[in-house]
Every structure is written in C-alpha cells, then in structure tokens.
Structure 1
C-alpha cells in the first residue's frame, strides 16, 4: 500500500484539538489521527449498509431455506465486503 499526501484546511480550534490528541500520546502524529477518523467512518458506513440489508431482508417476506449455493454466495459476498 502506498501513501499519498493530502492537504486539508481546518479551523485553528480543530488543529489545536488534534495537536492536543497527538501530544496526549493517543496518536503518533496528525496523520495517524486523520487515518483513524477515516477508518472509523468506513466502519460506520459498513455497519449502516449491513443494517440496511438486514432491514430489506426482514421486510422481504417469509424466510426460505438456504441452499448450499446460497451459502457459498453469501460467504463470497461477506469476504469481499468485510475484508
């Protein structure tokens, strides 16, 4: 995985907050702080997608027995989206 530099503009109050989080030892540097924010957002988006899929499933009608083919398809989807 390669890293790319990105510049962002934030208000001084936010920069002070981030700097304090780094100085507290919670993060090694500001980049680590922002990477963690992105990872948390990615996780929240994945959870929201899963909730949506569960709601769709629950509202789709009576359950049908799963076949071996269904199980293989679901495992494939889970491995691609969760990994």
Structure 2
C-alpha cells in the first residue's frame, strides 16, 4: 500500500473509532438509566407486596369488627325477647 492510501485508511479507522466511542458512551448512559428503572420497579413490587398483605390484615380486622358489632346489636334484642 502506498503511504497516501495508508493515511486515508488510518483517517477512516480513526473516524470510526471516535464514532464507536460516542455510541458506547450513549449506550452506557442508557444502561445506567435502565438499571435505575429496574431498581425502582423492584422497590415498587416489594411495596405492593407489603400493601397486599396489609390489606388482607385490614380485611380480616374489618370482618372481625363486623361480627362484634352484629353481636352487640343482637344483645339488646335478646334481652327484649326475654
């Protein structure tokens, strides 16, 4: 190869190298963003799981309170019937 051809090839390789470096930097930023998003989704899933179990406890408590209220409301009626 002639020195001029080598110089042209070297310039092309250098330009491609700069372009690839720029693209890799952009991909690095996107990967960081994706990792932050994944972490946020994991936290949200954990919170939702906790809220689901809390809601089940609340439903059980409300059901128990409803039974107690029913029993209290029936008590005067039993006395009246007696």
Does TM, normalized by the shorter one, top 0.5?
Answer: no
| TM-score class normalised by the smaller sequence | 0.3 to 0.5
Task: Please say which structure displays the higher CA radius of gyration.
Answer: 2
Task: Give the alignment's TM-score, normalised by structure 1.
Answer: 0.40
Q: Which structure dedicates a bigger proportion of its chain to helix?
A: 2
